[in-house]
Structure 1
Amino acid sequence: MSRFQPDPDALRLGEALAALRRDRGLSQAEAGARLGMTSQGWGLYEAGRRPGLFRPDVQRRLTAALDASPEDLALAREGLGAPPDSGAADAPAPDGLEARGRGFDTPSPRVRRLQISDDSLAPWAESGVVVEYRPGQWPRQGQGCVLEMIDGSVRVRLYRGADAEALHLAGAGALDAVETVPRRQTALVSAVVARLDG
């Protein structure tokens, strides 16, 4: 394979790494920073263009930065399905949602998008930033979340924790202040899985 044509297996493994990162709500820059590398360096792994992606020690480092394991990476890779058959000349060309690859413009059916309309979450996310969230997926501490309230309003906050009666969140004016929202007022809590900064 040429330097500009990654191995299909490396592409699938890179896509699985990208899926794990998005599930954790991290940007490439945030994931790379956890290992002391740039977003471009991390992006090369996700694109299947960086050597060592199949090495167990490299996989342990990359997945540890995502609070995951090499087993999680293998499961994510399995979830992507079979690699595309590049030699099937008579197969119909995939289109729409059937197309394989990195569809950044169209979120998967299980993911929704919401544009933030104020700066209450700055510097985590500012007005105009679009977040992708997975309905019903519970957030981890420090992860962004979207709350769909009983009254129909929607709030984007940072999840700090919960107890039997309430959710404890940050972002209603100051990231260091904790807002308490009674569980009975929330219809659905969803984890932010990606931030689209522009």
Structure 2
Amino acid sequence: MPRFESDSDARRLGEALAALRQEAGLSQAAAGERVGMTSQGWGLYESGKRPGLFRPDVQRRLTTALGASPEALALKLGAPAPPPPEPAASGVENRGRAFAGPSAATRRLQLSNDDLAPWAASGVVLEYEPGRWPRRGQGCVIEMADGELRVRLYEHADAEALTVRGLRGGEERIERSATRQVSAVTARLDV
């Protein structure tokens, strides 16, 4: 198999992964634990010493552990996301190890205040997927019954309410009856 990526490419991709991890507020150990590896294993990806980071399936696995996507990794790197795979000639679709880009349902919202600093500041554009439920500590966009959109960090939910963080780290309880939809933030884009 020809090696098409250089050591500097591997290092740059590893640095982009490290930036995503730091934005998520995770240590190498915590990030590695989410995918079943040690902090040393995660560190090898970030230092560019583990070439598997060029594989789309590995990118999906590692970025998902950070609450991000391979597209967010590509944006951190400053390169366009890879094109989708071509359909197999046999008429059967073979997606191989490639990943699909953002879904058509992905929406964007630009923050106009610093209520969620340092997680996200004014001017940051958030991509979110309606219908995708957030994980603990992940950003979420809450569409209220009156049409207002609230951006918070998801903590947990029960049958009656959502518990979120926001407004300078304070905890907030939002009654489910006051919400229309909760959507996971899938990427933060600095403008």
Q: TM-score, normalised by structure 1?
A: 0.55
Match of 1:125 among 120, 140, 163: 120
Query: 2:151 matched to which residue of 1?
Result: 156
Question: 1:64: how far off?
Answer: 6.9
What is the CA deviation profile of residues 98-149 of structure 1, one whole-angstrom value per residue up to 9, with x for unaligned ones?
xx9997xxx5312111111110111111111111111011111111000011
Query: Could you tell me the TM-score, scaled by structure 2's length?
Result: 0.57
Asked whether the equivalents of residues 27 and 194 of structure 1 are also in contact (C-alpha less than 8 Å), the reply is no
Any residues of structure 2 matched to 1:31-180 within 5 Å, and which?
33=28, 34=31, 35-36=42-43, 41=48, 45-48=52-55, 63=61, 66-67=64-65, 83-84=85-86, 107-171=102-166, 173-175=167-169, 177-180=170-173
Is the 1:28–1:39 contact (alpha carbons within 8 Å) kept by the matching residues of 2?
no
The 3-state SS of whatever aligns with 1:113 is strand
The CA RMSD over aligned residues, in Å, is 4.4
> Aligned pair count?
142
Residues 44-99 of structure 1: CA deviation (Å, up to 9, x unaligned) = 75544xxxx89xxxx6xx8478449xxxxxxxxxxxxx8337xx9xxxxxxxxxxx
- Between the two structures, name the one with larger relative contact order (CA 8 Å, sep ≥ 6): 1
What is the DSSP-based 3-state SS (H/G/I as helix, E as strand, rest coil) of the residue aligned with 2:126?
strand
Match of 1:185, as an amino acid?
Answer: A
State the SS of the aligned residue for 1:184: helix
Segments of 5+ residues of structure 1 without an aligned counterpart are 7-20, 69-81, 89-99
